[in-house]
Structure formats: structure tokens, C-alpha cells
Amino acid sequence: MRKTTTTPRARRLAAATIALGSCLALALPAGGAAAAPSDPVPTVFFGDSYTANFGIAPVNNQDSERGWCFRATDNYPAVATRSLADRGIKLDIQSDVSCGGALVHHFWQQQELPFGAGTLPPQQDALKQDTQLTVGSLGGNTLGFNRILKQCSNELRNPSLLPGDPVDKDEPAAKCGKFFESGDGKQWLDGQFEQVAGDLEELLDRIGYFAPDAKRALVGYPRLVPADTTKCQTAAPGQTRLPFADIPQDALPVLDQIEKRLNDTMKKAAADVEGGADFVDLYAHTGKNTACDGANRGIGGLLEDSQLDFGGTKIPWYGHPNAKGRDIQAKQVAAKIEEVLNR
């Protein structure tokens, strides 16, 4: 069932009124050309493990509960911010609250950390009345992408740091492609997408309310599976495991379709929200840097060792961007921010 937005209409109207007043106050004279602001732009980054860049070391806040967010010191928000500064566009980072495992509703609800490590406040708490730019990715965990991967892999069903259970543990992993294309599997997936769409609407509305002057940029997810899935039957240089471990090859196009649908859902949410939001289409720019593109891969293989160490054991990438992928994220995000601020 789709989640019904709880933001009162009156609150949205109030936000729109404030935003309209701000726009009028900042309106350019007739014939004027927009230019990037000379003062640092108050900015908040939000999101899940793809914004935090899980798998890349070192990690911020290792001595506090936020260390369980696995947010890389050099995640794409940090790299994009430096790149923009080199081009004369300065961001005043009010906060980066991205955290691994975050669902869309953790934007307005507290997030419980793993292993009883504590809780984090809602990500929206980082927003301020003077925030002018918000950027981030949420949606993959609400969709249940980890559960989808576990549905398709016996190896991922083994105990690990990867959270979640398979959608239906009684259905064999070898038949997961057909599972998601019909019957209970398809019904579950359709319900998850409905939830994601409703929650993203809520998220964008809340940004508009709590930071009425902020431009909103929703960042999509990079492509994991290539169009030519035969490439996924070869291990990357220096690796002995296939990029998607034991996931059947006939399930890989299904996973790709699911990810494409997720990005399309995010893009639609950004286009439909009152006042508009921007979308960074990473999927469209990463078709040659999937987990199966060997030396050019921007995605670490499911069971490929990442840069993170947990108790003396390397943590797998679990399909997250490696350093190359992080740099692609940063490049596309920086380009979108520059476009937005130059309007």
C-alpha cells in the first residue's frame, strides 16, 4: 500500500508563500543574467550508503556512533565540494548527514544503528531556514535492494554485515529472475516502488517546508549491471570471484530493470514535486563503469574486498561505488550543482 503523505496542505502553502517572497526579493532586473553566488552557499547533504560512499576508507566519526554510518571522509559530497571550489563556487557545508542503511523515512524519523550502537536523529534536523542547497540519495534501502540481492544469491543469504532477509527464503535463489517478474515477487516489488514514490514525495515536501529557499537535487544510483551481462561471467583483474558472485546470469537483466525503475521513480518524484527539484541521472552516465567492466569498473563486486576493515576482516563492497565510481558521482553532482546555482 502506498504511504499517504502526512504533510498538511496548510504547511505546504506556508512554505510556498515564504519561498515566493524569497524569490521576489532575489529577482534579477529584466535582462539580467544569473550567476553563481559569490558568497558560500549554505548546503546540506543527506542520504544513504551511496552518498556516504560505504567501502571507501578512512571513515568519519570512528569514535562515535556515527562511525556506524561508514561515511567516507572523501565521499562524493566532499570531492564535489572541492571540485566546485576550484571553479570558484564555494559551498558552506552546514552538515553531511548521509548514513549507511538509511531508508527514505529516516529523513523525518530517527535511524537505529546496527548492533545496538544507538540512534541518529532525523536527517531533516540538519536543515536550517537559511539552507540554500540540499543534495543526496535515498530510496534504495526503502525499495529493499539488499533483500532483492539476497533473494538471488545463496552466498549473500549467509550471515554477514549485509542487512535484511530474502524476500521469500523458501523460493530458491536460482529462480529469482522469474520470481520478481510474476506472482508474489512482482506484487511485492510493485508495493515497494509505491512506497518509495510516496516517501520521496514526503522527503522533498519536507525540504521545501524546513528550508524554503533551498534548491533540491535528488541524486540517482549508478548503474550496477551492464547491458551485456556476459561480461559478468569474468572476474575483474586481480579478483577470483565473479562481480555478482553466484547470482544467476539470467537474473542480472532483471536486477538492471529494477534499478532502472528505481532511478525513473526518483526522477519522476523530482519532476512532480511542487516547486520542482533537480535529478542527477547517474545511471545514464555509468553504463561503461558497472561492476562487470573490469579495470574500468566503478562498482565494487558483491564479495570483492572493499577498503574497510572490521575486526581484522575486510568488508565486501556489496555493489557500492569504489574510488573510480565515487569520482564519477562527484563529477556529475558537481556539474548539476553548478548548473543549478548558475540559473
Active site residues: 49, 101, 141, 320
What count of other Cβ atoms lies within 10 Å of the Cβ of residue 307? 16
Please name which of 143, 153, 159, 45 lies closest in space to residue 103, comparing C-alpha atoms.
143
Rounded CA gap, 290 and 42, in Å?
A: 33
Report how far Cα 312 is from the mean position of its chain's Cα atoms.
Answer: 28
Rounded CA gap, 165 and 152, in Å?
A: 11
Pairing, β 111-112 against β 119-120? antiparallel
Please name which of 58, 62, 51, 83 lies closest in space to residue 72, comparing C-alpha atoms.
58
Rounded CA gap, 301 and 29, in Å?
A: 52
What count of other Cβ atoms lies within 10 Å of the Cβ of residue 6? 10
One-letter amino acid of 129: Q
What count of other Cβ atoms lies within 10 Å of the Cβ of residue 255? 22
Phi, psi of 306 (to 5 degrees): -90, -170
- Provide the grid cell at 216: 533540491
Please name which of 324, 266, 256 lies closest in space to residue 56, comparing C-alpha atoms.
324
* b/e per residue 160-197 (b: at least 16 CB within 10 A): eebebebbeeebebbebbebbeeeebeebbeebbebbb
DSSP character at residue 222:
P
Confirm if 275 and 16 have CB atoms less than 8 A apart: yes
